[in-house]
A and B are shown apart, each in its own frame.
Chain A
Amino acid sequence: MKIKKEELIEKLRELSSNGYNYLVKITAVDYIDHLEVIYFIRNMQNKKEENVRLDLKNGESLPTVIEIYKSADYYERELSEMFGIAIEGREVKRLLLEKWDGLEAPLRKSFQWGSDYKSG
């Protein structure tokens, strides 16, 4: 289902109280003019799945869902460093790319191979 960014927390709360209690993954797709963020959520009782999708403009931030799904911790950290999406409402430490500061987020389409990455 496609929702607006403002509805995200409310929608996920509603789903999690309806038994959709397992977060499978959060990921994003870079469509150059905008980003699509996708939450894969599963109901562990009847094994049904729901995809919650929302569009983000470039440079827009995303509210954290860690209050609803504890497992969002690593996924949000990954999202913020791989796509350069700022996460509101929590401290986001670097996870996989600890020394990547100031460089282009690698999973954005604008990231070019062999560009100015310097280790250390």
Chain B
Amino acid sequence: MLTRINVGPIHPSTHGVLRLVVTLDGDTIVDVEPHVGFLHRGVEKLAENRMYMQSESYMEKIDYAAPMAYSDLYVAAVEEAMGIHPKERAKYVRLILLEFQRIASHLLWLGTFCNDLGQMFTMFMWTMKDRDLVLNLLQDVTGSRMFYVNMRLGGVSIDLPPNFEEHANKLLDYLEKRFKDYEAFLEKNPVFIERTKGVGVLKREDAIALGVTGPVLRASGVNFDVRRDYAYYAYEKLHFIPQVQTRGDSFARYKVRMQEMKESIKLIRDALKLMPEGDALGMPIKLISPPVKESEVIVRRELPRGEGMIFMVTDKQRPYRLAIRAPAFINLSALRYIAKGARYADLFSILGSLDLVMADVDR
């Protein structure tokens, strides 16, 4: 006999407002039907009605766990439309800030993921504390802890402060030590291993067919990273290895993100060494932007949650159409395929490992 269980829309493990209707046969999941849209704000429509640079702060609210990554994606699209190239130093400054943002986002994920697995609060406290240090550093640069709005056409709003390199290196050394602690705590922990290894396996072919992206795709053995395959900013010049795992289970998805944070540390260190002197400041925000040169642009960026893409049809002063490919949206669509056949208790291990931000799904 089949049973139907309603989960959410408000549920501690859905990280936002997500309703799942789960059909169960005994303890085994037969089907999961996600109901989304509770956080839909119509960002794409809003952008059509505003001047180019007025929309930047809206874009940050799409993904509140990694706002800077989204404002960068949007500003890059506007830059491309106007034929503006970021300054040489700005390419490095953006890379450094975006990689710190990636670390902050992955740390938030790791803490909440461990909460979902019943590793109550030890990891959450650790990661939130360390994430706070990263946010402090970003606050030193941008003046804000959550919504930065610091990307400008051709550069950033404020250059790195004079003592930034010293602070950043100190923090990176600390984080490197902490990641070792995390790994020792989690990878020798029978509860964590039992609840992630072999759970929610997504095979390579399925991952491609379902269109999943980012760490979820790489955990299934697909070697694809926008930072390398469509290199932008200083990623072109720095050596960098996309982190790939082959097992495709929840543990592999954890491992990919863990390794990615370490890779980010390396990237930031290299960028700090190679960063040229000079000017990184972009144009101040004015209502009337420079003239648009392209009628259509496609821009891709590797956001912490996966590949983000903006397809923009331009008009004189505002976008005619702005289409955003949100990574969490497509990762959520894979949930029902991954969860099929799993046990109900494992649903949240799978859901958590997809790293969903509901505001990103709904836009």
Contact = CB atoms under 8 A, between A and B. Distances in A.
The prevalent SS among residues of A at the interface is loop
Interface stretch (A4-12, A56-64, A66-74, A84-92): A66-74
B333 A40 contact: no
Interface residues of B, number: 32
B330 A74 contact: yes
Contacts of A44: 208, 222, 224
A96 B224 CA distance: 29
B37 interface: yes
B311 interface: yes
Contacts of A29: 313, 320-321, 323
B229 interface: yes
Contacts of B11: none
A107 interface: yes
A103 interface: no
Interface in B191-221: 208-211
Contact of B49 (A73, A98, A113): A113
B97 to A, nearest CB: 26
B44 interface: yes
Q: Select the residue from A27, A29, A40, A113 with max chain B CB neighbours within 10 A.
A: A27
Interface string B31-47: 00001110010101100
Given A71-B333, A74-B333, A96-B36, A25 B230 contact: no
A97 B323 CA distance: 17
Nearest to A94: B37
B66 interface: no
A73 B40 CA distance: 19
Nearest to A93: B33
Contact of B45 (A73, A98, A106): A106
Interface of A: 21-25, 27, 29-30, 38, 40, 44, 47, 69-71, 73-74, 95-98, 106-107, 111, 113
